[in-house]
Amino acid sequence: MKKPTYERARALVRRATGPLASHLDPFIVSLIEQQYRASVTYIKARHGLALDRWLAKRRVVLPDLSEAQIERYQNRCRHRRGSIRIATRQIERKAVAQLLEFLRARSVCPAARVVTTAADDLVARFAQHLQDQQGLAYTTIERYCWVARQFLHHRFGRGAVDLRLLRASDAIAFVKRESQRLQAPALKCVTNSLRSLLRYAQFRGEVVPATLAAAVPAVSAWSTTPALPKAISPEHARCAIDSCDLRTHVGLRDRAVLLLLARLGLRAHEIVALQLGDLDWHRGHIRLRGKGGREQLLPLPTEVGAAIAAYLQKGRPASHDRHVFLRSQAPIRGLIVGSDVIGSIVRSALERARVAAPHRGSHQFRHALAVNMLQHGASLEEIGEVLRHRSPQTTSIYARVDISALRSLALPWPGGAR
């Protein structure tokens, strides 16, 4: 059997004579540009050709292509050669879905018909408001919208939504229901999300009374002090960084990411959002897009800059995408916003280094930076400035880490030993 190549894939789709005949070759070219392997591209070409022949046999034209026809195609049986294997069907479904996305982007077939409820439509407008007017982070918007959808379905079901019918008892009943399955920290997220939704509805003049947001119950965590931050030790952090294989593209990328976490205390979403234009090599600065759409300049340490430069020169795939860090597999593009890809990089590094870290997430490097600064005499104000905290209260949790420093501030007990 001949080895699959890009040329064979393009030659294969040129056999198409049905409604997809003029679109399959551009589709294959797009896959090549996204750096799919030749073997994967060839398989997608075969599935595209099979769909073209099926549509031609049934005289289906692209403007009339419907979801029902695609479903019939995917559920078909090949009588002569028996049924299609499950694994083959899964590959076919992905290939057809990708081809349809390509065709819809070119406006040659109808967009997918999405059935939404009134609650879904309201939540979509709420999400746009959170992004445009409040500038919240993607993950925050996602959490708020999930709670908003649950609340609206709890109150109105899948029918019409009339926010003027909401009462304090509705908010209280929803929070009470959620409290039966959630711990205090997660329940606080629910109440914050619900208040945000009700304030949005009040802003639009759709809630009566206007004080409804204040009726959402408060959550008692029964704790006077926040939990101690879980920070990875400097030794373990170095082991994780050194575990990256610099002979590979992925190793070069992951080392740069880990150094950004450890040396600058960047948040995961800040690394994902980093663009090539945010790196000022002449001035040695890096520009961050933080919470609320704020932009800040940070100094670029030599070790971090060298790691990023090595990735850009030797490891970063060729791409029109302007994000600094790209996926290592096709489609080659920026890391997915809202995903846990940075956490996955951290977990892989910890496993390679065989490090028993406090937890498996990326934030432990941020905590480690703060603890290290504190132990070297930095003030809480300086730590808050480096970590870009909005409130001094956020930074105050690190005061509990250096117990020996706190003891020096303790006053003598009245009447005690002198």
DSSP secondary structure of 10-70? HHHHTT--STTTTTHHHHHHHHHHTT--HHHHHHHHHHHHHHHHHHHHTT--GGG--HHHH
CA nearest to 134, candidates 194, 186, 190, 197? 197
A 10 A CB-CB count for 418 gives 4
Residue 110: both structure tokens together: 């109808």
* Cβ contact 257:316 at 8 Å: no
Comma-separated ranges of CATH 1.10.150.130 domains in the chain: 118-215
Question: Which residues partner with 82 through β-bridges?
Answer: 78
Q: With b meaning 16 or more CB within 10 Å and e meaning fewer, what string describes 338-375?
A: eeebbeebbbebbebbebebeeebbbbbbbbbbbbbbe
In terms of CATH, what superfamily is 234-404?
A: Intergrase catalytic core (1.10.443.10)
Task: Put residue 354 in one of left, alpha, beta given phi > 0 → left and psi -120 to 50 → alpha.
Answer: left
Length of the chain: 418
| Parts of the chain belonging to CATH 1.10.443.10 | 234-404
Catalytic residues: 267, 291, 363, 366, 389, 398
Tokens of 193: 């999300």
The per-residue pLDDT for 409 is: 47
Phi-psi region of 207 (alpha: psi -120 to 50; beta: other; left: phi over 0): beta
- Report pTM: 0.73
Return the residue matching tokens 């420093």.
Answer: 405
> Cα(107)–Cα(119) distance, rounded to whole angstroms?
29
| Residue among 155, 200, 161 nearest 177 (CA) | 155
pLDDT tens for the chain, 418 residues long, are 678 999 999 999 999 999 999 999 999 999 999 999 999 999 999 999 999 999 999 999 999 998 889 989 988 865 555 566 778 888 999 999 999 999 999 999 888 777 778 899 999 999 999 888 877 777 788 899 999 999 999 999 888 999 888 889 999 999 999 988 888 888 999 999 999 999 998 888 887 676 788 889 888 755 555 566 678 888 999 999 999 999 999 999 999 999 999 999 998 888 999 999 999 999 999 998 766 667 889 999 999 999 999 999 999 999 999 999 999 989 999 998 777 899 999 999 999 999 887 777 888 898 888 888 888 888 888 888 888 887 777 777 776 665 554 455 455 666 655 5
Look at residue 57 in the predicted model and tell me its pLDDT. 94
Q: Does domain 118-215 have CATH number 1.10.150.130?
A: yes
Closest to 370 in 3D by CA, of 393, 350, 347, 395? 395
Beta strands in 168-282 (DSSP E): 279-280
